[in-house]
């Protein structure tokens, strides 16, 4: 099982972190050890003082595919969900300054929250609203209509580099509103008002 993540897929998030708009999707991976087991709290790692939440729509691959054309990409997933790409922002900044990979900041143990999945037929994937609430206040309010690259385009793109297999999950990028987590925060993710996950920070 692979976790394939897309960075810089929402213009306002690019702006809030003062990044450059990419000419093609930014791709990085998380290992399966990054998945936080269900019902477990998220523990802020000792190596970071600035861990940020990044809520993202998830796609679960349902069969093997390679070099998938965009027009056929919809056949390779039946479910979508919601998750968090936890990012050690201070560690990431140091890596970026030195031109180093981001894995220490993005792929550490427990850094991937994977919520409940729902049939994609329940939603309009081109106009899908989703939110992250922190302590009952909305901190991220996204819509897939604002993606630079749509879901099917992402499935097609990543399949040019990685063979997609059943159970692989694609994190499709985060909207603006990312921020720091603190001990005892409660994070709740919703898709079209349907709760996908609830996580407590320790």
Query: Quick one: CATH architecture of 3-200?
Result: Alpha-Beta Complex (3.90)
Confidence label for 201 from pLDDT (cuts 50, 70 and 90): very high
What is the mean pLDDT of the segment spanning 6-22? 75
* Residue range 63-113, pLDDT digits in tens: 999 999 999 999 999 999 999 999 999 999 999 999 999 999 999 999 999
At residue 8, the pLDDT reads 87
CA distances from 1 to 31, 60, 62, 159, 168 (A): 8, 10, 12, 14, 5
For residue 61, pLDDT over 70 is answered with yes
| pLDDT for residue 16 | 67
Please write the tens of the pLDDT for every residue from 107-164: 999 999 999 999 999 999 999 999 999 999 999 999 999 999 999 999 999 999 999 9
pLDDT for the residue 118: 98
- Per-domain residue ranges for the chain? 3-200
Q: What is the pTM of this model?
A: 0.95
Q: What is the 3 state secondary structure string of the chain?
A: CCEEEEECCEHHHHHHCCCCCCCCCEEEEECHHHECCCCCCECCCCCCCCEEECEEEEEEECCCECCCCHHHHHHHEEEEEEEEECEEHHHHHHHHHCCCCCHHHHCCCCCEEEEEEEEHHHCCCCCCEEEEEECCEEEEEEEHHHECCCHHHHHHHHHCCCCECCCCEEECCCCCCCEECCCCCEEEEEECCEEEEEEEEC
């Amino acid at each position: 099982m692979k976790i394939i993540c897309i960075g810089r897929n929402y213009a306002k998030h690019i702006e809030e972190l003062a990044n450059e708009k990419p000419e093609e999707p930014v791709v990085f991976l998380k290992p399966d050890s990054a998945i936080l087991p269900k019902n477990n709290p998220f523990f802020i790692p000792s190596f970071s003082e600035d861990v940020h939440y990044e809520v993202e729509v998830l796609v679960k691959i349902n069969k093997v595919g390679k070099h998938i054309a965009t027009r056929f990409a919809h056949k390779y997933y039946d479910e979508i969900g919601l998750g968090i790409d936890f990012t050690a922002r201070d560690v990431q900044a140091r890596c970026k300054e030195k031109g180093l990979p981001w894995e220490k900041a993005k792929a550490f143990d427990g850094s991937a929250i994977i919520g409940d999945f729902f049939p994609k037929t329940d939603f309009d994937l081109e106009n899908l609203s989703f939110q992250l609430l922190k302590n009952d206040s909305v901190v991220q309010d996204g819509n897939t209509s604002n993606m630079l690259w749509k879901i099917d385009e992402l499935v097609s793109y990543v399949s040019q580099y990685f063979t997609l297999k059943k159970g692989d999950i694609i994190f499709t990028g985060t909207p603006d509103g990312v921020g720091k987590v603190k001990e005892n925060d409660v994070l709740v993710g919703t898709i079209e008002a349907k709760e996908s996950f609830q996580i407590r920070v320790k």
